């Protein structure tokens, strides 16, 4: 069994619309315009993608999701996640400025307008990095041992979170 070939088949680069669905549906992110002045300071970060490449900006603010991304809750299938999620309240677009200090902001970018080619995270990010790394897909540049190990680590993190099936090709 060729592990590189299996990874390439199971984890091709995802389309922006598919990553948009993952962020909105599983991470309950709220999409916000990249032109919104409330996030201008975030997009001014030197590591943020260029404005013309940005295909989506999302605010992830719900406590259960943030605790999952920070590692305080292990899985979406856990009792802790379910009970914390029941206490969440949904905010309106007008309320976004009040949660920006504690929220995680996710910026998706594409250099071809189709596939996720880059992303940027402002806020808690270790586990969301793993999710988005898998969404970027397995590339041939992962053939060196360190890159392959990092990809395997991301797989383990996302699997533990209970989101691997939602990200891998079915």
Q: Where are the domains of the chain?
A: 3-167
Weakest-pLDDT range from 2-6, 46-50, 119-123: 2-6
Q: How would residue 115 be classed by pLDDT, with cut points 50, 70 and 90?
A: very high
Compute the distance between CA of residue 150 and CA of residue 84 in angstroms, rounded to an integer: 30
Compute the distance between CA of residue 116 and CA of residue 135 in angstroms, rounded to an integer: 7
Residue with the bigger pLDDT between 147 and 79: it is 79
Compute the distance between CA of residue 60 and CA of residue 29 in angstroms, rounded to an integer: 4
Residue range 72-97, pLDDT digits in tens: 999 999 999 988 888 877 766 667 77
Weakest-pLDDT range from 55-64, 84-93, 152-161: 84-93
Average pLDDT, the chain: 86
Q: What is the DSSP code string of the chain?
A: --HHHHHHHHSPPPBHHHHHHIIIIIS-PEEE-TT-GGGHHHHTSTTSPPGGGEEEEEEE--HHHHHHHHTSS--TTSHHHHHHHHT--PPPGGGHHHHTTTSEEEEEE-SSSSB--EEEEESS-HHHHHHHHHHH---GGGGSHHHHHHHHHHHHHHHHHT-HHHHS--
What average pLDDT does the segment 155-165 reach?
93
Q: How would residue 141 be classed by pLDDT, with cut points 50, 70 and 90?
A: low
Residue 62: pLDDT over 70: yes
The pLDDT of residue 167 is: 83
The pLDDT of residue 1 is: 38
Residue range 15-47, pLDDT digits in tens: 999 999 999 999 999 999 999 998 999 999 999
Residue 170: pLDDT over 80: no
The pLDDT of residue 99 is: 77
127 within 8 A of 68, measured Cβ to Cβ: yes
User: Does the model's pTM come out above 0.95?
Assistant: no
The pLDDT of residue 21 is: 96
The pLDDT of residue 66 is: 92
């Amino acid at each position: 069994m060729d592990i590189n070939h299996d990874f390439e088949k199971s984890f091709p680069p995802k389309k922006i619309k598919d990553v948009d669905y993952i962020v909105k549906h599983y991470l309950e992110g709220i999409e916000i315009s990249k032109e919104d002045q409330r996030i201008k300071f975030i997009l001014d970060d030197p590591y943020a993608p260029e404005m013309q490449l940005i295909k989506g900006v999302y605010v992830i603010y719900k406590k259960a999701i943030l605790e999952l991304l920070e590692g305080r809750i292990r899985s979406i299938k856990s009792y802790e996640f379910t009970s914390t999620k029941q206490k969440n309240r949904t905010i309106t677009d007008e309320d976004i400025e009040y949660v920006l200090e504690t929220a995680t902001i996710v910026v998706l970018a594409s250099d071809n307008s189709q596939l996720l080619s880059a992303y940027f995270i402002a806020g808690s990010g270790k586990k969301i990095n793993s999710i988005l790394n898998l969404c970027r897909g397995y590339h041939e540049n992962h053939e060196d041992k360190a890159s392959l190990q990092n990809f395997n680590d991301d797989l383990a993190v996302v699997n533990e979170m209970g989101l691997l099936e939602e990200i891998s090709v079915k």
